[in-house]
Amino acid sequence: MGRSGVPVVAETIALHTIFELMRVTGVRVHLCRLSSAAGLALVRQAKRDGLPLTCDVSIHTLHLTDVDIGYFDSRARLNPPLRQQRDRDALREGLADGTVDALVSDHTPVGEDAKALPFAESEPGATGVELLLSLALKWAEAAGLALPQALARVTCGPARVLGAALGEQAASAGRLAVGASADLCLFDPAADWVVDPTRLRSQGRHTPFAGYNLPGRVRCTLVAGEMAYGPA
């Protein structure tokens, strides 16, 4: 049981139930925000058994543990809750070896009033979308993975999970292709930056990564060929 007070067994019981239903119905399932080593072990076995299963992990669970809650810092009140170091390390390995299909931001902005409450009463969640790329690069650097492998977890990996649900974009989403929509993020992998919540653009600016030095500064983003973020 982590400091959040929520036992890991809640995750494993839910997974056992889901997998049994999958065996009966043959339905395809995607699991959001896997958070424990025990859960990962069940997913790995289910995939070996041939169940049509994919899953993701959040940037918070990939980098933080229950120790980062400190003196019950509400910025670290998340859902699912932060687990122990062995859980984090297992999830890092699972993302590296492909058991985990995608890395997600778990972007859940929370207002000032909802985070100002005592830890147990505060609303779970944190801003994350602006940190996704840099935290993916930070994980890959620590894991000794090449840049294309890191980027795959936030581009073509999620696209494969969505599959046919992407419709006409399925053939090009998450990758560069001639004639595809120009949805691009241009960044400098050698440029570091410090997470300053006051400079984040999200409606909610609370994050447990405040003050972290991260790699990869975004220079601009294009959506369908149009500038969405960058110099004027």
Report, as residue numbers or ranges, the catalytic residues.
106
Phi, psi of 222 (to 5 degrees): -120, 135
Nearest to 185 by CA among 223, 232, 159: 223
Q: What is the largest CA-CA distance in the chain?
A: 55
Nearest to 97 by CA among 44, 158, 59: 44
Q: What are the structure tokens assigned to 230, written together?
A: 């960058």
- Tokens 């046919």 identify what position? 164
Report the phi/psi class of residue 31: left, alpha or beta, with left for phi > 0 and alpha for psi in -120 to 50: beta
Strands 184-194 vs 213-223: parallel, antiparallel or unpaired: antiparallel
- What is the dihedral angle through the alpha carbons of 47, 48, 50, 54, rounded to the nearest 10 degrees? 10
Q: What are the structure tokens assigned to 65, written together?
A: 């543990």
- Tokens 């984040």 identify what position? 200
Strands 29-31 vs 53-58: parallel, antiparallel or unpaired: parallel
